[in-house]
Amino acid sequence: MAIGNVITIASSEEIGRVLKKGRRKNGSLLSLYYLSRHTEDLCEAPEGRVAFIAGKKLGGAVWRNRSKRVLRAALRQAGGTRAGYDILLVAHARTAASASPDVAQELTMLLKEAHI
């Protein structure tokens, strides 16, 4: 599935693989999970893929949807996906109430820490 120019990870099996085998970087507004598709021999396409996750403990559907919108905007501002990587962006409680430039700044910092 594609959202704009972003290819999303749709299957829960693939999300589980990134959660289990991938690396994690935590921030105050979001968590970043990432896994190189080259190391998993799954690089059938060079594009990076992403999933936006907002759990039910964040609140009702309105808050979860807002959190995912903020994460999508932050990813666009941070330069989009990274080729050859599966990335999960997990919203924290403060994500929905934050401005997307603030979340984008933190996402950029986490991506630099992860060297991707």
Q: Report pLDDT for 57.
A: 92
Record the pTM.
0.89
Angle at which helix 61-77 crosses helix 100-114, to 10 degrees, equals: 60
For 5, counting Cβ atoms within 10 Å of its Cβ (0-12 exposed, 13-18 middle, 19+ buried), the class is exposed
pLDDT tens for each residue of 81-111: 888 899 999 999 999 999 999 999 999 999 9
pLDDT tens for each residue of 20-33: 999 999 999 999 99
Q: Report pLDDT for 97.
A: 93
Counting the structural domains of the chain, the total is 1
Q: Domain residues for 51?
A: 2-114
Residue 46 backbone class (left: φ over 0; alpha: ψ -120 to 50; beta: rest): alpha
CATH of the domain at 97: 3.30.230.10
